[in-house]
């Protein structure tokens, strides 16, 4: 029918409810469609148009040939044309749906890197909130996936085999530890597990049981002695912003990632309370800060670049966040700059790893246990999830008791820029006047560095000698010049 080929689809918000319509000369309902005939005027001449409602919100219209001159003739034409028009529309819709299905990409054709990106970006957690948790510490996985991208990033999930995963493990530098190899294996395993469920892209996991590399026995690790912390805090050659961060980590036991993500709104400095709602383990924590730490933070905020509630507490010397920065090498270099030379802090052997900034948390745990703090008091601050994890620190804590190391000096008194007129003394972890534990004994004389050793600590220009030894005229002159020419804030 030639007139039918001129039909076009129009949209309307009217639902198909009543075949009668205002202004229609005739109307009716037939074989699932509603038709109406309307009079129109074009160029001074009267014509007629047929409107067919094929489905809710879908209409077709066509001109009625002029040879149908009466209302009955036009109605008979409409009753014959309307079902045919709806039939053609249904056929067109079915064809479009078939083409859409044919063009739809195969979900299993998505590459490993593309699907991993959905995980690290948090999109999978948004799509499947009951099955995929939003991971707080995703930076390590992003770094590992960046290493994998040129090796297996373009492999389609449907083609992924155990050989691809082995390719990544083999490509890692030989010096990497067994725990690092396992971390890479766990990242690959996790991405593929999500593709099985809830992604439902793969029917089964392509990696066999036993794929994950085993972890070798734990290597020896070190912790920072209070006297080494004192040397670092007093070293003016290390930017104050880094020293405050180091001192805070050692005295409060937080994870590095949690500390550098702190904002002023997480702290109630009037009451000395910290509240962590977002943590690595998704378990909120709150505790009372040490009074010396509170005093240091109050002073820090007075001079801070971002003192408002939403500002980050810890920024580096150029005002940039520490978030995402690897600080292990910087931390060890700052210790060397402060004159700390204990070999165990810097050795890397098959049996020992060098000191990391994360080990300030270990230093906190070790010395807190050594000074009589309970396991529950420690885990409230560190966030450890089991007694087995705390048990790792009991042997070094017993050694700390035998060495009579004591606790770290008060943070505000240890930093020359913040130190009050009368210097605070070394006490115990987060001690307060009402603390039932009482004050820890000061370190034994033989555990303190000699005057000759101290003179070598932080011996660069602008250093300030610690309070235990009198300043020389030369060091006093350097300190005065440093204070005059630079602003540590």
Q: What is the pLDDT of residues 212-224, one digit of tens each?
A: 888 777 788 899 9
Residue 51: give the domain boundaries. Answer: 2-103
Domain final residue pick, 196, 215, 247:
196
Domain final residue pick, 103, 124, 155:
103
Structure token pair of residue 393:
């620190």
Please indicate, yes or no, if residue 478 is contained in any of the structural domains: yes
Classify 414 as helix, strand or coil: helix
Please tell me the distance from the alpha carbon of residue 221 to that of residue 352, in angstroms, as a whole number: 6
Mean confidence (pLDDT) of the chain? 80
Q: What is the mean pLDDT of residues 81-104?
A: 78
Same domain, 127 and 248: no
Q: What is the mean pLDDT of residues 44-63?
A: 87
Please indicate, yes or no, if residue 202 is contained in any of the structural domains: no
pLDDT at res. 312: 92
pLDDT at res. 473: 42
Residue 102 has a CB neighbour count (10 Å cut-off) of: 7
Pick 98 or 301 by higher pLDDT. 301
Note the pLDDT tens digit of each residue in 345-387.
999 887 888 999 999 999 999 999 999 999 999 999 998 888 8
Q: Alpha helix (H) ranges present in 303-358?
A: 328-337
Same domain, 145 and 28: no
Same domain, 97 and 120: no
In this prediction, residue 103 has a pLDDT band, given cuts at 50, 70 and 90, of low
Q: What is the mean pLDDT of residues 73-91?
A: 90
Same domain, 130 and 252: no
Same domain, 90 and 144: no
**Residue for token digits 């009668």?**
20
Same domain, 400 and 420: yes
In this prediction, residue 16 has a pLDDT band, given cuts at 50, 70 and 90, of very low
Note the pLDDT tens digit of each residue in 297-322.
999 998 888 888 889 999 988 888 88
Same domain, 372 and 440: yes
Model confidence at 449: pLDDT above 70: no
Please tell me the distance from the alpha carbon of residue 58 to that of residue 44, in angstroms, as a whole number: 30
Question: 162-165 contacts: CB < 8 A, separation 24 or more?
Answer: 162/206, 162/207, 162/208, 162/211, 164/112, 165/207, 165/211
The sheet carrying 45-55 orders its strands as: 8-10, 58-63, 45-55, 33-42, 24-30
Model confidence at 55: pLDDT above 70: yes
pLDDT at res. 481: 43
User: Can you give the pTM of this predicted structure?
Assistant: 0.58
Number of domains in the chain: 3
Classify 35 as helix, strand or coil: strand
CB burial of residue 289 (10 Å; 0-12, 13-18, 19+): buried
Same domain, 181 and 38: no
Please indicate, yes or no, if residue 316 is contained in any of the structural domains: yes
């Amino acid at each position: 029918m030639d007139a039918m080929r001129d039909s076009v689809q129009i949209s309307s918000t009217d639902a198909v409810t009543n075949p009668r319509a205002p202004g229609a000369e005739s109307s009716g309902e037939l074989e699932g469609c509603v038709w109406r005939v309307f009079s129109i005027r074009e160029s001074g001449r009267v014509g007629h148009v047929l409107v067919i409602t094929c489905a809710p919100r879908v209409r077709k219209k066509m001109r009625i040939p002029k040879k149908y001159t009466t209302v009955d003739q036009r109605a008979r034409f409409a009753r014959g044309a309307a079902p045919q028009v709806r039939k053609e529309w249904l056929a067109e819709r079915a064809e479009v749906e078939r083409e859409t299905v044919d063009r739809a990409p195969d979900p299993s054709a998505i590459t490993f890197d593309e699907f991993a990106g959905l995980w690290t970006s948090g999109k999978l957690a948004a799509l499947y909130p009951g099955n995929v948790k939003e991971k707080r510490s995703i930076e390590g996985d992003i770094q590992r996936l960046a290493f994998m991208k040129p090796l297996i990033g373009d492999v389609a999930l449907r083609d992924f085999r155990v050989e691809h995963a082995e390719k990544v493990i083999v490509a890692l530098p030989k010096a990497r530890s067994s725990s690092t190899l396992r971390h890479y294996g766990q990242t690959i395993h996790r991405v593929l597990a999500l593709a099985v469920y809830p992604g439902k892209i793969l029917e089964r996991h392509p990696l066999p049981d036993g794929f994950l590399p085993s972890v070798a026995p734990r290597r020896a690790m070190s912790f920072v002695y209070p006297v080494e912390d004192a040397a670092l805090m007093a070293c003016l050659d290390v930017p104050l912003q880094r020293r405050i961060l180091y001192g805070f980590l050692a005295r409060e036991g937080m994870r590095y990632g949690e500390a550098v993500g702190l904002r002023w709104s997480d702290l109630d400095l009037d009451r000395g309370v910290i509240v962590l709602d977002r943590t690595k383990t998704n378990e909120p924590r709150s505790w009372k800060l040490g009074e010396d730490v509170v005093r240091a933070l109050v002073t820090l905020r007075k001079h801070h670049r971002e003192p408002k509630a939403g500002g980050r507490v810890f920024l580096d010397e150029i005002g940039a966040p520490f978030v995402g920065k690897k600080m292990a090498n910087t931390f060890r270099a700052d210790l060397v700059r402060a004159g700390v030379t204990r070999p165990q802090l810097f050795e890397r052997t098959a049996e020992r790893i060098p000191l990391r900034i994360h080990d300030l948390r270990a230093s906190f745990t070790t010395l807190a246990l050594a000074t009589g703090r309970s396991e529950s008091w420690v885990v409230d601050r560190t966030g450890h999830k089991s007694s087995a994890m705390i048990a790792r620190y009991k042997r070094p804590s017993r050694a700390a008791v035998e060495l009579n190391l004591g606790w770290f000096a008060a943070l505000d008194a240890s930093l020359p820029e913040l130190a009050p007129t009368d210097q605070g003394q070394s006490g115990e972890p987060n001690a307060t006047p009402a603390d039932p534990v009482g004050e820890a004994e000061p370190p034994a004389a033989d555990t303190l560095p000699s005057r000759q050793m101290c003179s070598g600590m932080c011996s660069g220009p602008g250093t300030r000698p610690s309070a235990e030894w009198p300043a020389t005229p030369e060091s006093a002159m350097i300190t005065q010049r440093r204070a005059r020419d630079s602003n540590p804030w």
